[in-house]
Amino acid sequence: MRRRIATALMGAALWGVGCGYHVAGRSDALPKSIHVIAVPTLENKTTSYRIEQRLTSATVHEFLAKTSYRVVPDPASVDAVLRGKVLSLEAVPLLFDTATGRATTMLVMLKCEITFEERETGKILYHTDNFVFRNQYEISTNVTNPNSVKNFFEEQDPALDRIAQDFAARLVAAVVENY
């Protein structure tokens, strides 16, 4: 009886090992022929100044940090090309200060279209036209001039950097994992 139980447990353990779980970002779902990836600057379809440059820079950094692929900006002589469009970027008030009625927390929403294509064959390895991100950030309430442009930009930049990093982490994981 003990042998049967031990055999059943051993079989369950072996089955569990082969169930397909793996560490994110470490999968070999992409074709073995891909070694160099081009990440040209994303196209900006919004009125947000230079958001495409932040997202592109963060994506290149994420590819270099989390994968073994070489990343270049020019798609002329690479194995695959990652192209994207920033479709919308919105910020809406989320929380308000009850004393002043001013917003204290903003919700930032970003929507992109992404295509990852094998250059030689033209095969689309990943595509989505609804890559959506949300992130919130606090607005300082301890300012002498609440309408100051300087105060707005001091807080917007870190929020956009966080969104760019989140965007890049999710994008690289999605492309590498081929979801």
**Looking at residue 6, what is its pLDDT?**
54
- Report how many domains make up the chain: 1
Q: Evaluate whether residue 5 is within a structural domain.
A: no
**Whether the predicted pLDDT of 137 surpasses 60:** yes
Mean pLDDT, rounded, for 142-156: 54
Q: Evaluate whether residue 163 is within a structural domain.
A: yes
Q: Evaluate whether residue 19 is within a structural domain.
A: no
Lowest mean pLDDT among 34-38, 94-98, 127-131, 147-151: 147-151
**Whether the predicted pLDDT of 17 surpasses 80:** no
**Looking at residue 22, what is its pLDDT?**
42
Could you give the C-alpha distances from 164 to 7, 17, 55, 112, in angstroms and in order? Answer: 50, 35, 5, 12
The DSSP output letter for 179 is -
Q: Evaluate whether residue 13 is within a structural domain.
A: no
Instruction: Give the pLDDT band (50/70/90) at residue 153.
Output: very low
**Looking at residue 107, what is its pLDDT?**
84
Q: Evaluate whether residue 4 is within a structural domain.
A: no
Neighbouring residues of 67: CB distance < 8 A, sequence distance ≥ 6: 25, 172, 176
Structural domain for 91, as ranges: 27-177
From first CA to last CA, the distance across the chain in angstroms is 44
Residue 143, classified by CB atoms within 10 Å of its CB into exposed (0-12), middle (13-18) or buried (19+), is middle
The CATH number of residue 68's host domain is 3.30.160.150
pTM: 0.72
Q: Evaluate whether residue 149 is within a structural domain.
A: yes
**Whether the predicted pLDDT of 168 surpasses 90:** yes
Query: Do residues 158 and 139 touch, judged by C-beta distance below 8 A?
Result: no
